[in-house]
Amino acid sequence: MKDAGRLTFTHIGPYRPVFREIMSSNEARVEIYDTTLRDGAQAEGLAYTVEDKIKIARALDEIGVSYIEGGWPGANPKDIDFFERAKSLSLSNAALAAFGSTRRADGLAADDGVVQSLLAAQTPIVTIFGKSWDFHVEIALKTTLEENLRMIADTVSHLRSCGRRVFYDAEHFFDGFKANAEYALDTLKAAAQAGAETLILCDTNGGGLPEKIADAVALVRARIPQVRLGIHCHNDGELAVANSLAAIEAGATHVQGVFNGYGERCGNANLCSVIPNIELKMGRQCLPDGKLKLLTHTSRYINEVANVVPNERAAFVGRSAFAHKGGIHVSAVSKAKETYEHIDPEKVGNETRVLISDQSGVSNIRFKFDGLSDEFSRNPEAARRLLSQLKTLEHEGYSFEDAEASFMLLAWGALGRRRQFFDPIEYRIWIGSAGEPEAVVRLRVGNEEVHTASLGVGPAHALDQALRKALLPHYPQIERFHLIDFKVRILDGEKATAAKTRVHVETSDGEVSWNTMGVGGNIIGATWQAILDSIDYGLNRQ
């Protein structure tokens, strides 16, 4: 094949409108192929157990993805164990796929160990990847371009003859298309003619741009109209979601990605963004009816199982995705949410949140409380007084965005509704010669002054125990209050050991949990304040 005859990006223009005519005869539904268990597992710092993979697979099936890629059978003992257990896994919506490569060069698929492992997994679908880039064929595989075509065709044909549905991942397709478009297309034709039902074009290096992705997909759609086209994008250019959507616009009806965007290097296309954009923005269905509302729950559940800290600013599913802080924004949202929300958050199982900070206005205060909004509306002076207090406290280092219980105590106080259950007088901490801290607290409950002491594994624990010992005879319900999280943040690190500290405490009564906060130059003092608020809030809310 001569260079002069090669197809290049400059030849694609006429193909751009072709896919629209083809799409008119195809279903509008887009298949979701999830590879959280395989490609997502390649993320740095992420390691699933087999039990983790089973739990995630069930969650993916519940939300209704079309396919779940379980891993590479035979690649490691964990994946062998997973596929063995998956044989008894009852899935209602999704079909399970095993992933692997084409056979080795100069061999036969029937004799290839990788292919035999794929068949042994007994999944209805097998996804194999092959080389689309002539550079990779000659450098990585060290074989000829013709033998690579035979490897693809032989592997697909053998898997089909064994009763498997076959998806073909065209690895590095867009790089290969740019370098030698005709050969890249020949690899797809080899897979299609051998019986692959879906051809997935992979932006393996993650460097593609949406327009170029769309151009290539449209051309492939025109040249090979008889099979379904898919897209698989990596996020190295921060464009994996955009590229996936561009491919769908150009004729792809199968999209591969990972929940929460896990994956090697910068990750894969994030299905938590791909799915709602397809359904809510493009008007195409990809999940069963009603399942989109499970999106936020599924995202957070997978983070929990994978032991990954959630990205609170993640689009659609993040805790901050529909959080409003500026007073002007909140004022508008209180009138019509669409003024600053691009979708109704309930459609993806999320919620509108209003934050309280020095950026707030009186509208934030009114919007914040469903139960108290009328009271603040009737008492605007209380709202202004609370807002002034909040701005002063934030200037001192307080942040109420993740300490709503401390904020509620201030709000109840501004309205004159906060009950005073006890009055702290002082506390003291000793560290004995054995290194065990002892806390002494004095406080007033009604007309009685209470003086107690307690040992603890640390100063915070000793303070908490001493306070509980003092209050328990008067308020036995606090026996149900348990600290479940404790976080410390240094606010001005340049002051070294004299830095101001913010302490967050999360408390639960077994049914609900709440967050409180303390700030001060003394970490023990900040801790004492956060613990006091945690008990005070628990008593007040009852």
- Give span(s): CATH 3.20.20.70, the chain: 33-306
pLDDT of residue 418: 85
DSSP-H helix ranges across 180-294 = 181-194, 210-223, 240-249, 271-276
CA 409 to centroid of chain Cα atoms: 32
CA distance 96 to 301: 20
Pick 138 or 22 by higher pLDDT. 138
pLDDT of residue 356: 57
Q: In terms of DSSP bridges, do strands 95-101 and 125-131 run parallel, antiparallel, or are they unpaired?
A: parallel
Q: Do the beta carbons of residue 292 and residue 348 sit within 8 Å?
A: yes
pLDDT of residue 5: 46
pLDDT of residue 510: 84
CB-based burial, 292-312: b 16+ in 10 Å, e otherwise: bebbbbbbbbbbebbeeeebe
Q: For every residue of 90-122, which 3-state class applies, written as one string?
A: CCCCCEEEEEEECCCCCCCHHHCHHHHHHHHCC
Question: Which residue is it, tokens 């039990």?
Answer: 51
Its CATH class, for the domain covering 423-541, is alpha beta
Pick 501 or 66 by higher pLDDT. 66
Q: Is pLDDT at 101 greater than 90 in this prediction?
A: yes
Q: Is pLDDT at 26 greater than 50 in this prediction?
A: no
CA distance 111 to 121: 16
pLDDT of residue 434: 78
**Does domain 33-306 sit in CATH 3.30.1380.10?**
no
Q: What are the angstrom distances between the C-alpha of 232 and each of 174, 208, 210, 280?
A: 11, 11, 13, 21
Q: Read off the tokens for 406.
A: 């401390």
- Give span(s): CATH 3.30.160.270, the chain: 423-541
pLDDT of residue 24: 42
Q: Do the beta carbons of residue 29 and residue 284 sit within 8 Å?
A: yes
φ/ψ of 166, rounded to 5, equals -120, 130
Tens of pLDDT, residue by residue over 345-380, are 999 999 877 765 545 555 555 555 545 556 776 777
Pick 278 or 13 by higher pLDDT. 278
Label residue 326 exposed, middle or buried (CB < 10 Å: 0-12, 13-18, 19+). Answer: middle
H-helix or E-strand spanning residue 514: strand 513-520
CB-based burial, 72-99: b 16+ in 10 Å, e otherwise: bbbeeebbbbbbeebeebeeebbebbbb
Query: Edge to edge, what strands does the sheet with 513-520 contain?
Result: 482-490, 501-508, 513-520
Chain mean pLDDT for the chain? 88
Q: What is the pTM of this model?
A: 0.71
Q: How confident is the model at residue 410 (pLDDT cuts 50, 70, 90)?
A: confident
Listed range (399-408, 425-434, 503-512) with the worst mean pLDDT: 399-408
Q: What are the angstrom distances between the C-alpha of 103 and each of 185, 214, 440?
A: 20, 30, 72
